[in-house]
Amino acid sequence: MLTRERLGVWWRLFRPFTLTASIVPVIVGSGLAWTHHSAHLGLFFAMLIASMLIQSATNMFNEYFDYKRGLDDEHMVGIAGTIVRDGIDARIVLACGWGSILLALLLGVYICASTSWWLAIVGILCIAVGYFYSGGPKPLSYTPFGEIAAAIAMGPTIVLIAYYIQTSSISWRASVASIPIGLLIGAILLANNIRDMDQDKVGGRKTIAILLGRERGRLLFGSVFLVTYLLVLLLVILNQLTPWTLVVLLTVPSAYAVTRLYFKFTEPAKLHAAVKGTANLLFRFGVLMFAGMLVANLHL
């Protein structure tokens, strides 16, 4: 295998487009903190890298356990498949997952030593959600609670950790402002599960998409975006977010476009673009919210 091809395989193992779900909560939580506090860049980058490592490990655990349970094959749709399509040894994928967790823990030690050791408990709980999402005797991904657990662990929880390590406090403003991020992270998983619902039924999964059915699943998917934007508007009206954060409304056309794909197609190959589009939407939403908060800080 050529070096470029080999690097491509390992890059796909990290499922890079999904890393928006680990990047956005950190930058939003930090942006909320920097509105009224000075920046601790060392802690910011440590938190950002640790969050990305935990997300990458979760992806690797998911790939490993899906392969072991026979859910993945070479015909599957999506960026996963380094085991079944690219021939990477499953044991290596699992080892890389645990290696990523180890590196995240080392960064966590630095973060806790600089702030509070109570964060270690929260961090371990987030890692546990990442592992048990696809691992263990009763994986969360096989239940209707997968999207909810991941949305909470990666949305509000990471936002509030990022906020806390910058301010040494938790505020009501940061708590409510984290909810839109959690909703959009949940939307990524819901998008993925609607795409894969036929294959997941065969594998014994009972996700929200499967329990609701395709039509109601589509409606729920679109409703998540609607609630997200309405919540941002409400938070601005209640003075919990700066009016500058209304710049996130620029992503409304993207939300409409990915939702439309789910009402237009049912084939997994055509819906994969919608899954990636949802992840990209989260990234643009988060960056715009972060930029809006920084601009507001400049005008204080």
Q: The CATH number of the domain where 33 resides is what?
A: 1.10.600
Q: Is residue 266 part of a domain?
A: yes
Is pLDDT at 76 greater than 60 in this prediction?
Answer: no
C-alpha distances (whole Å) from 119 to each of 105, 113, 126 are: 11, 10, 11
Instruction: Give this prediction's pTM.
Output: 0.90
Round to whole Å and give the CA distance between 53 and 64. Answer: 16
Least confident of 19-23, 67-71, 105-109, 240-244: 67-71
Asked if residues 271 and 10 have their Cβ atoms less than 8 Å apart, the reply is no
Domain that includes residue 60, residue range: 12-295
Q: Is residue 1 part of a domain?
A: no
Q: Is residue 234 part of a domain?
A: yes
**DSSP assignments along 3-16, one per residue:** HHHHHHHHHHHT-G
Contacts for 5 with CB less than 8 Å, ≥ 6 apart? none
Q: Is residue 27 part of a domain?
A: yes
Contacts for 222 with CB less than 8 Å, ≥ 6 apart? 259, 262
Round to whole Å and give the CA distance between 113 and 146. Answer: 32
**pLDDT value of residue 108:** 96
Band (pLDDT 50/70/90 cuts) for residue 97 is very high
φ, ψ (nearest 5 deg) of residue 112: -65, -40
Is pLDDT at 8 greater than 80 in this prediction?
Answer: no
pLDDT tens digits, one per residue of 172-193: 989 999 999 999 999 999 999 9
Listed residue (252, 140, 229, 230) closest to 193, CA to CA: 140
Q: How many domains does the chain have?
A: 1
Round to whole Å and give the CA distance between 283 and 26. Answer: 11
Structure tokens at 144: 């209707």
**pLDDT value of residue 45:** 97
Is pLDDT at 168 greater than 70 in this prediction?
Answer: yes
Number of other residues whose CB lies within 10 A of the CB of residue 288: 18
Q: Is residue 127 part of a domain?
A: yes
Q: Which three-class secondary structure state does DSSP give residue 181?
A: helix
Round to whole Å and give the CA distance between 108 and 123. Answer: 8
Q: Is residue 6 part of a domain?
A: no
Asked if residues 162 and 29 have their Cβ atoms less than 8 Å apart, the reply is yes
Tokens 């409400």 -> residue? 234
Q: Which three-class secondary structure state does DSSP give residue 286?
A: helix
Band (pLDDT 50/70/90 cuts) for residue 37 is confident
Q: Is residue 123 part of a domain?
A: yes
Query: What does the angle CA 16 – CA 19 – CA 21 come to, to the nearest 5 degrees?
Result: 150
Q: Is residue 7 part of a domain?
A: no
pLDDT tens digits, one per residue of 253-270: 999 999 999 999 888 888
pLDDT tens digits, one per residue of 226-253: 999 999 999 999 999 999 999 999 999 9
